[in-house]
Chains A and B, each alone.
Chain A
Amino acid sequence: MNEVDLQALRRGDESAYRALVNEYHPTLFRLAMIYSPSRAIAEETVQETWLAVLRGLHGFAGRSSLRTWICRILVNVARRRAGLESRSVPFAALEEGDDAPAVSADQFLTSGPFVGHWNSERDDWSRLPEDRMLSQELQGVVAEAIDKLPRTQREVITMRDVEGWTAPEVSELLRIEAGHQRVLLHRARSRVRQALESYLTPAVPA
């Protein structure tokens, strides 16, 4: 969306509005789902967000990009509806009972000259064919793993890795420090990778 489109939107140009709504819907809906128990509630959140966007449109000063501004409104609406504080999460509240290592300690040697090294060979995922990587099957495993993450991790990984936003954009959207964001991103990615590993590695009978 550029300045011309923004002018069109303010003028009441329906096609400009339709284009904007469609362009941002995937992002807004994914974000809304983080705070919503159902698709219907997430759609209500998206609708309330557009109401707030239109009300605020003439005052939009362009200090953030339009998409950051709209997504920020959604986060505030969604957090309020879910009964959450809309302020950022303090760093101390980060743990959420999740300080597990990226890889379970039982995958590493615990003694000998190679302590801390892998204790068995790893499957080579570079042999996964491209179409398997893009299959609904693996997408389902990954989507489910993301859904199960603690909320703050899910916010960060959704915006960074699913939506492809940059770290500074996500810091601005979620009002979190760069270091805090990296910790959340690391935990989230580690959990999602683990879910894929569990799925792709056939269980070895004990």
Chain B
Amino acid sequence: MREMNCNELVERVTDCLEDALNPEELARLLDHLQVCQGCDSYFNEVLVTLKVMSNLPAKPMSPELEANLLAIYHDWAEGGVVA
């Protein structure tokens, strides 16, 4: 089984995390990770990136939009034609 190089691993990380590697590819990737400090660090960089993205704060709704959305609902609930 041909060894996986670092420049190949960086292109397969997403497939690995998406569970889209076949068993042989997965074995090659994991074998390489075990012996390569650089790729182990790289993999962790991707995980850190995912962690930051999953914690991005949401922007609050503006008071104008909130008021508009309520007005729309009242019109609708009263059976009026929603313009």
Contacts and interface: CB of A to CB of B under 8 A. Distances in A.
Contacts of A161: 50, 53-54
A82 interface: no
Interface in B7-66: 7-8, 10-11, 13-15, 18, 20, 36-39, 41-42, 44-46, 48-59, 61-62, 64-66
Q: How many A residues touch the partner, as a band?
A: 35 or more
Contact of A47 (B10, B52, B72): B72
A80 B81 CA distance: 23
Q: How many B residues touch the partner, as a band?
A: 35 or more
A89 interface: no
Given A29-B61, A51-B82, A182-B20, A196 B48 contact: yes
Interface centre among B7, B41, B77 (most CB of A within 10 A): B7
B18 A162 contact: no
Main secondary structure of the interface of A (DSSP, over half): helix
B7 A108 contact: yes
Given A26-B58, A193-B46, 5 more contacts: A14-B77, A39-B62, A105-B7, A117-B6, A190-B10
Interface of B: 5-8, 10-11, 13-15, 18, 20, 36-39, 41-42, 44-46, 48-59, 61-62, 64-66, 68-70, 72-74, 76-78, 82
Interface of A: 12, 14, 17-18, 21-22, 25-26, 29-30, 39, 43, 46-47, 50-51, 54-55, 101-103, 105, 108, 115-118, 121-126, 128, 133-134, 138-139, 142-143, 146, 157, 161-162, 164, 167, 182, 185-186, 189-190, 192-193, 196-197
